[in-house]
Amino acid sequence: MKKYFGFGLLLLLLSMMVTSCQNNAEEKTENQLNNIVLSGKMPTITMNNLGDTLSYISGNEYSQTFLTYLKEFHHIDTAYIADVTNGILQAAQAKTNEQKAKCVGVALQIEYDRLIKANNLRIFGEKNKGNVISKSKFLEYFRDLATGGKTKMNRMQAEFYLNKMSHRVVIDSIAVSPQQCDSLALSLAVIHSENFAKTLKEVYGLDDKGMDIVIQTLQPATKIDNKNEIATKVGIHTGVLMVYQAVPSYKEDKLFKEYYCFNEGNFYAAFCDAINGKQPLFDEMQSRIIFQYASNNVFEKENAVKFADNKAAGIAFLEENKKKEGVQVTPSGLQYMVLKEGKGDKPLATDNVKVHYHGTLIDGTVFDSSVKRGKTATFRLDNVIKGWTEGVQLMSKGAKYRFFIPQELAYGAQDRGTIQPFSTLIFEVELLDIVK
């Protein structure tokens, strides 16, 4: 497969793919991660439909800020990306309660390490050399509270204490005692242990045994100097976020939930390819085009249901109108009446024309009129709706026609205020001049 598709081929593929994966939730597998081989190999990228393509692009976009995060927060350079990738796949491939629990435990270690660092920075600043919040103390309090331990401090009090101490240290420049640092650690533990068991069960799908494994994992760890091991743990943390937060979020997005199949394998493969420096299958502009195409397709389908009566009324109107004396119909479905013939040349689609016009809906509502404004309009004929482009080319200079334009030759599914989606339009047009 070539790295990049040409735009013409891209649009052709989209038009073919869009019909193959819509409104077919019954075809979605319960867990497409089964496509990821347990040997640690990357998922196979498949491009059978638009859902596959959108999933791939989503994974690539999700990776965009990740390398900066690795370098700036964890100080991991590209030499250790393979270890990060391995960690991500470990989390993505975890199937048993024990495997999942171990990955969640590692992820929470990383998360709580970041939590402590962030709060120490917020409360004490970068240059502080005195007492700080201890991660070991935080984990001690956290494990106790998460397993049913009690404290007199509630969440509101914990949040108040954190904010108060932050203000006193930053604004008043007070020194913080070890006891106050312990209270800060307790405050964080109170906040983050709340509903911990419920979260493990509902978000991560872990049972009581799984919770025990997570708690055991949350022990004060000895400092790790092995960058390969650090990178792997960071990868597991990232994988857990992707598996339990990012991917479910994408699946719940209306685009995937109701219209296109989300392919987890493509999402993970695109993400890992991107962080490993591989060229994506679609560049940034092509990705935008594909997502816009998919969004427009969804928009049109929803409007087709919402404004079905409007569409039906237009069809019925045109069916009766074509029977009237003097009404002519072109192969495209455009209807017109000659009110006054003109003389001379007819304009080309590439010509600029000077016209007067009066536009109404089939119920007589006026939505635009140069006649009412008392000012003619000049425009290039191929820059307007298809009904105009086709119809005005039938006219000679000085002619006046009435056009009955089907919605597909007008604005289609677009909502343009007074002109609702799928509106049939009526225009009286007088061709005043052809501007060469």
Residue 224 contacts residue 265 (beta carbons within 8 Å): no
Residue owning tokens 């009766």: 320
Q: Which residue in 62, 293, 411, 422 is the catalytic one?
A: 411
Residue owning tokens 């080319």: 393
Question: CB-based burial of residue 406 (10 Å sphere; 0-12 exposed, 13-18 middle, 19+ buried)?
Answer: buried
Q: Annotate 292-328 with DSSP letters as a single string.
A: HHHHHHHHHHHHHHHTHHHHHHHHHHHHHHTTSTT-E
Residue 145 contacts residue 193 (beta carbons within 8 Å): yes
Residue 367 identity: F
Spatial separation of the C-alpha atoms in residues 401 and 130, rounded to whole Å: 86
Residue 385 designated active-site = yes
Residue 147 contacts residue 194 (beta carbons within 8 Å): no
Q: Which residue in 141, 273, 427, 434 is the catalytic one?
A: 427
Residue owning tokens 């055991």: 216
Q: How many CB atoms lie within 10 A of CB 58?
A: 24
Q: Which residue in 4, 66, 299, 367 is the catalytic one?
A: 367
Rounded to an integer, what is the distance from CA 196 to the centroid of its chain? 29
Residue owning tokens 């307007």: 384
Kindly state the DSSP code that residue 419 receives in the 8-state scheme.
B
Residue whose C-alpha is closest to residue 100's, from 192, 249, 218, 200? 200
Q: Which residue in 4, 385, 415, 433 is the catalytic one?
A: 385
Tokens at residue 23, please?
């409104």
Q: How many CB atoms lie within 10 A of CB 263?
A: 30
Indicate the pairing of strand 352-361 with strand 335-340. unpaired
- Inter-axis angle of helices 135-146 and 178-193, to 10 degrees? 40
CA dihedral 229, 230, 235, 238 (to 10 degrees): 150
Residue 7 designated active-site = no
Q: Annotate 169-193 with DSSP letters as a single string.
A: HHTT-----HHHHHHHHHHHHHHHH
Q: Which residue in 113, 144, 351, 368 is the catalytic one?
A: 368
Residue 427 designated active-site = yes
Tokens at residue 88, please?
């991500």
Q: Which residue in 5, 124, 142, 357 is the catalytic one?
A: 357
Residue 357 designated active-site = yes
Assign 382 to helix, strand or coil: helix
Residue 359 contacts residue 326 (beta carbons within 8 Å): no
Rounded to an integer, what is the distance from CA 52 to the centroid of its chain? 14
Active site residues: 357, 367-368, 385, 411, 427
